[in-house]
Amino acid sequence: LKNCDLVIEAVFEDMQLKKEIFEKLDAACKPGCILASNTSYLSIDEMAAATKRPEKVMGMHFFSPANVMKLLENIQGAKTDNVTLVTCTSIGTRIGKWPVLSQNMNGFIGNRMLTFYSTEAGSMAMEGAMPAQIDKVATDFGMPMGPFAMSDLVGLDVGFQARKRKGLSDPKMNLKDALCESGRLGMKNGKGYYDYKDGRTRVPSKLVDDLVVEISANNGYKRRSFTDQEIFERLFYPLINEGFKVLEDGVARQPSDIDVTYCHGYNWPRVTGGPMHYADVIGLKKIADILTKYASTYPKAHYFAPASLLKECVASNSSLSKFWAKNGNNYKFVPKTPRL
């Protein structure tokens, strides 16, 4: 490694392990060598602190499968210098990626917004919708797969063993924990939220549907029916709302960077232009009103409260694109301490 100009670490998401690797890379690599991490949500600054060259440390988050997905989410740390930033952007372009720059906050751009999409999928399953119905709404919109199928693809056991070691798993109350305990780990072993008869084709599982009903009851829910419209709103509107907060916090430079992130990193249907452009198409007042309704119904779900930037756009009777063109410079795109 002593003659390398760039080294990219890509071990699993364990901060202690990553810090140990960065410390060793710092000792082995020449001065000026850029040390990058493929992390999808961990703090770049914490890794940089394990080195004597924090200005040469940056996140380079490739999306899986890396040989297919075009997005490269570059993450700038508090001490990352301009040479490192420009170099990583240039490398991304040279290898055929679409580089987008993010500041170093938990989840960066893409995974931060995805958090509440996944949260609401789980909540609706507990309240009365079945995984297959929720996923169908997502795929009917144009997503390549829904949240439960995506979990199966990634692997349901991701993070499960760590939770179990800490005594945090609860298969009587948590659906994913129950599936893992029963040996349903996702597509990789042919059974997760779905059964995979030929290793790829998803088939709804009666066993899982029965387990959903059981765990829903254990959590005290009285199950009800869901319309596809409610599922759509509760999946995608919190995601869009978080996009407004990403802009407020200066994590993304501009709305189009979020749209590129989702179209090229998460296979968001390109015909809609991406989540932030699509918000303008739907109408920001409509989105804000529906979020307000859900915030009243589910007061503990803080992510339904309309973002300040969204409310500003509505108050000025402006689309996001027009509001940002006029006022975007008021939202500082500068390195910040990660918010946990």
Which amino acid is present at 179? L
Listed as own residue / partner, the contacts of 264-273 with beta carbons closer than 8 Å and 24 or more positions apart are 264/63, 264/69, 264/70, 264/71, 264/98, 265/63, 265/69, 265/70, 265/71, 265/73, 265/110, 266/63, 266/110, 266/114, 267/143, 267/144, 268/142, 268/143, 269/141, 269/142, 269/143, 271/142, 272/142
- Under a CB-based contact definition with an 8 Å cutoff, are residues 102 and 73 in contact? yes
Is-catalytic flag, 302?
Answer: no
Which amino acid is present at 306? P
- Under a CB-based contact definition with an 8 Å cutoff, are residues 146 and 136 in contact? yes
- Under a CB-based contact definition with an 8 Å cutoff, are residues 13 and 39 in contact? yes
Q: Looking at 61, 264, 277, 302, which residue is catalytic?
A: 61
Annotated catalytic sites, by residue?
61
